[in-house]
Structures are given as C-alpha cells and as structure tokens.
Amino acid sequence: MGWARNGVGRSMQVLRRLMAALTVMILVPLAVPAGGTALAQSGAAQSGAAQSGALGAPKPWEMGMQPAFSPLKQGIIDLHNLVLVIITLITLFVGVLLVLVMVRFNAKRNPIPSRVSHHTGLEIAWTVIPVLILVIMAIPSFRLIYYLDRTPNPDMTVKVTGHQWYWEYTYPDQGNLGIESRYIHDEDLKPGQLRLLDVDNQLVIPAGKKIRILTNSADVIHSFFIPSLGVQRYAIPGRTIELWLTADKPGVYYGECNQICGQDHSRMPISVRALTEEAFNTWVEQAKKAADATPSGASGNKLMAAATEAAPQGVQR
C-alpha cells in the first residue's frame, strides 16, 4: 500500500504542477501592472509562515490540499486520491467509448442502423460494474466517517464556543481554564505574523495527544475548520457537537470559520499551537496564574497571550 500511495501522490503532484504552470502562463500577463505588489505580498506571506513556525498554513499558488499533519487529514487525502483515480478512469473509459462510437458507428459507415435493443450480458455488466465501483468507494468512505466521528480514549477535552466574531476555548481538564481568541488587526501585526490568520491567544494543545473538541455557539452558526489537521465541525447554538483532533508534531496550524456568520466572518481565524507535553504543562500553569491575577476582559487576554509567549517553546516562534 505504501508504494501505491507514494505513486498516486507523485502523480497528483505532477498534475498540480502542470495546472499551476498553465495558470501562471495565463494569468501573469494579465497581472503585470500589479505583479510586483502581488509577488511581494506572496513572498511576505511565505516568510511570515516560516518565521512563525507554521506547519499548517496556506501558501501562495497552492493547488492541492494542505499537507497532512494528523492521521485524520491523511485519511482524507488517501480517500480523495482513491476517488480521483476512479473517476479519472471512468472519464477516460467513457471518452474512449464516445470516440469509438463516432468513428465506427457514424452514418457514413452504417447507412442502415442496427435495430438491436436488448443485450442481457451488457445490461448485467453496466448494472453490476457501477455497483461494485460504488462499493469500492463506500467501504473506505464509511470507515473514514466513523473514524472521524468517534473520539477513542481522549487525553483531554477542549470546549470551543463560537461568538460573533471570536472564539472562546475552555479547558475542563485544566480547572475550566478559559481564553478568548481574536484576530490581530493589520496595524498590530508583528514581523512573522500572518494577516487574518494570527490571533492574540492561540488554542494550545499537546502534540501527539488525542484532543476531544466540543463545539457550541453563543449566537449564530459557526464552523470550526483546520485544514491541515483534517478538522471541520459546525458550532450550532443550543447543540454540543463532538469531534477530535491530534497534531503529529509541535507547530502552528491555522484555520478559519468557514460558515458565513456575519459582517466579520472573514475575521474569525483559528490558530492552534501544538507544544511538547512538558511545554504544554508549563503553559497551563502560567496561563492559570495569568487568569487568577487579572479579571476577565481585554487586559486578562493580554496577560494570557504573554503567558503563551513565556512558555517553553515547542516550536520556533
């Protein structure tokens, strides 16, 4: 299976690069007047992601999915590649049949058309084969859905509450430690921070641990979406929805609310920071001290961010 996955992955990479090259050839001449600015912004985004230690972040001209940094995302990519191969083969097969019909059975070569209207073997084949194809697609699909849905023996729980327009994270296993996470305004961005992606307080988790997430909303429907970790669940008022995630290695993983939720929907980023277990425990202690020392509110949030920065670094920041 490993060699097959690597082969398909390489094929998908070649196809994406060809599509990217074609897109560049078409669009670059049209964007010459603004090309310098666009390229500068793209370079700044890549530089910022590298400086922030980001692993799961969007990149300029990215054609495919973000790389997988969790078993959930890897399962999604594997299913995508399987279905893509199947539908590509079906498309090629149908295309060949169409060409064959046009060449061999056109009016010139067949002035007197056949009156055959029934073929038992052919009818059985075009019924059974599609069913088998659907079964081949359904088995890994259902297995992945069940895998994404269940939270097997979680190491910790985080409650995620969506607000207009910020996120609230509560850690029940850490004494109901709670933080609020808001996007950083353009004028407040520091070198290395990503516009509309970095936040004042990150969701901090230990790397390599199974984290149960309970989503909820205080107002309208939101969506908790982190592409590189394979996570997406709605946050609905009056309902608690369960999902789980794990980060394979320490790093920063970005996401966004991808359910339109009002005028500042585009300003609800998610930034997950995975630390080593030791660094996470230190962060929890410092965050608790910051929360005890300061009442909730803006000043408390600033101290919480300071505690995050002061914790031992699981990643370069």
* 204-237 confidence digits (pLDDT tens): 999 999 999 999 999 999 999 999 999 999 999 9
Distance of CA 50 to the CA centre of its chain: 19
How far is residue 102's CA from residue 84's CA, in Å, rounded to a whole number? Answer: 27
Asked whether residue 129 carries a pLDDT value surpassing 60, the answer given is: yes
Beta carbons within 8 Å of 48's beta carbon, 6+ residues apart: 54, 191, 192, 193, 194
Q: 184 to each of 1, 18, 198, 268, how far by Cα in Å?
A: 44, 36, 6, 10
CB 86 within 8 A of CB 134: no
**Whether pLDDT at 28 is above 90:** no
Q: Sorting pLDDT into bands at 50, 70 and 90, what band is 117? A: confident
Q: Give the bridge partners for 158, in sequence order.
A: 213
265: tokens are: 């929907």
Average pLDDT, stretch 88-108? 92
> Does residue 20 register a pLDDT over 80?
no
155: pLDDT strictly greater than 80: yes
Task: Give the pLDDT score at 17.
Answer: 63
pLDDT tens for 36-70 read: 333 333 444 444 444 456 678 888 888 888 999 99
In DSSP notation, the chain reads -HHHHHHHHHHHHHHHHHHHHHHHHHHGGGGHHHHHHHHHHHHHHHHHHHHTTEEE---TT--SPPPP-SHHHHHHHHHHHHHHHHHHHHHHHHHHHHHHHHHHSSTTT-SS-------HHHHHHHHHHHHHHHHHHHHHHHHHHHHHH---S-SEEEEEEEETTEEEEEEGGGTSEEEEE-BPPGGGPPTTPPTTT-BSS-EEEETTS-EEEEEEESSS-EEEEEGGGTEEEEE-BT--EEEEE--SSSEEEEEEE-S--STTGGG-EEEEEEE-HHHHHHHHHHHHHHHHHS-SSHHHHHHHHHHHHHSPPSS--
Q: What is the pLDDT of residue 38?
A: 33
Summarised one tens digit per residue, pLDDT across range 161-212 is 999 999 999 999 998 999 999 999 999 999 988 999 999 999 999 999 999 9
Please tell me the CATH code under which domain 156-310 is placed. Answer: 2.60.40.420
Asked whether the predicted pLDDT for residue 90 surpasses 90, the reply is yes
Looking at residue 280, what is its pLDDT? 94
**Peptide bond before 3: cis, by omega within 30 degrees of 0?**
no
| Cβ pair 202, 229 in contact under 8 A | no
Residue-level pLDDT at 131? 95
Average pLDDT, the chain: 82
Q: What pLDDT score does 299 carry? A: 42
Q: Is the pLDDT of residue 30 over 50?
A: no
Tens-digit pLDDT profile for residues 234-288: 999 999 999 999 999 999 999 999 999 999 999 999 999 999 999 999 999 998 8
**pLDDT grade, residue 12 (50/70/90)?**
low
Residue 254 falls in which region: left (phi positive, over 0), alpha (psi -120 to 50) or beta: beta
> 75 pLDDT exceeds 80?
yes
Q: Is 302 exposed, middle or buried (0-12, 13-18, 19+ CB in 10 A)?
A: middle
pLDDT confidence of residue 151: 83
pLDDT at 305 over 90: no
- Going by C-alpha positions, the residue among 176, 264, 170, 180 that lies closest to residue 222 is 264
User: Looking at the predicted structure, is the pLDDT value of residue 35 above 70?
Assistant: no
The pLDDT assigned to 183 comes to 94
Return the CATH architecture of domain 71-106+123-149. Orthogonal Bundle (1.10)
Domain residue limits, the chain: 1-28, 71-106+123-149, 156-310
pLDDT of 115 over the 90 cut = no
Calculate ∠ Cα 240-243-248, nearest 5°.
150
